[in-house]
Amino acid sequence: MSNLYTQQSSNITKTWLFLAFFLVLVIAIGFVFAQALGNPTILYAAVGLALVLNVGSYWYSDKLVLGISKAKPADEQVYIELHRIVENLAITAGLPKPRVYVMQEPQPNAFATGRDPKHAVIAVTTGLIDVLDRKELEGVIAHELAHIGNRDMLLTTVVVVLAGFISILSDMFLRWQFYGGHRRSTSREGNQAAGIFMIVALVLAIIGPLLALLIRLAISRKREFLADASGAMLTRYPEGLASALQKISAYPQTARVATKPTASLFIANPFRGKRLSALFMTHPPIEERVKALLDNVKE
């Protein structure tokens, strides 16, 4: 079974491969847009901004996510049991104890963030503490520690940033075309290459953001299954995490502290309402995750 001991090295490699792929995608889109509009500055700006966003998300992702989620440090006297669970499971996992934060939010949920295990954070909602028993809470914390051990947080954060940047690039190009950029960039008669680049650019502007979104969601769903398996191995009690996931999914209200960019970081989808197509879900269906956990118990 995949776990944070056997998968950590593989995940680090995959992380850099995914980052390289997204950077190549950004460069390719920037190049095509620059050729279509006859302005090489667009390519330089795209690459420069992508690198700046990458570096910024690496160093400041935890502060940004915690600020957006309104998370505050968990007082060690008030949340003594939570700190004990985090510390004990971190020792079991062979990880430094992450900083512990709490969000004043009734929906039970949690996430991990930070650029590496030494700078990791686990944030839980007050609803999670109120609703779950100790075994279930241990299951959730173990899941988040698995994300930390598997080095998922950096990949998730940077992919979110780059996917958003691709959407911004595409939106800027389409707006440029709408406001007359097409006439200015295709005024050179007989330039077949410019016409071809324009067609390719329009296609990329439309499908680029969708492709980036699908890749981001696919990565997120795959990492959730792996973190479930790794977390269950840490606690040696898959039923605890399975029960926690069922309670979390049963809560009827959307988390007020969640936003679309941060949704994929949570252990379960923080939004409620109409069921989305499985293709566009930030998390695997809870039923599938619970089944996978309980099937391991039977084996």
What's the Rg (C-alpha) of the chain?
Answer: 22
Model pTM?
Answer: 0.80
Q: What is the spatial distance between Cα 248 and Cα 279, in angstroms, rounded to a whole number?
A: 21
Q: What is the DSSP letter of 3?
A: -
| pLDDT tens digit sequence for 138-179 | 999 999 999 998 877 777 766 767 777 777 778 777 777 666
| pLDDT tens digit sequence for 176-219 | 766 655 544 444 444 666 677 678 777 777 777 777 777 767 66
What pLDDT is attached to residue 222?
A: 77
**Residue with more model confidence, 159 or 271:** 271
Residue 297 pLDDT > 70: no
Nearest partner of 235 among 118, 126, 135, 94, judged by Cα: 135
Has 144 been annotated as catalytic? yes
Catalytic residue among 105, 136, 138, 144: 144
How does strand 71-73 pair with strand 99-103?
A: antiparallel
What pLDDT is attached to residue 188?
A: 47
Q: Across-strand partners of 22?
A: none
How sure is the predictor about 12, in pLDDT bands with cuts at 50, 70 and 90? low
Residue 135 pLDDT > 60: yes
Per-position b or e across 214-229, b if 16+ CB within 10 A of its CB: ebbbebbbebbbbbbb
**By mean pLDDT, which of 32-36, 41-45, 53-57, 175-179 is the weakest?**
175-179
Domain boundaries, the chain: 4-298
The proportion of the chain whose per-residue pLDDT surpasses 70, expressed as a percent, equals 82
Indicate the burial class of 274 (C-beta count within 10 angstroms; 0-12, 13-18, 19 or more): exposed
Phi/psi at 111 (5° precision): -155, 165
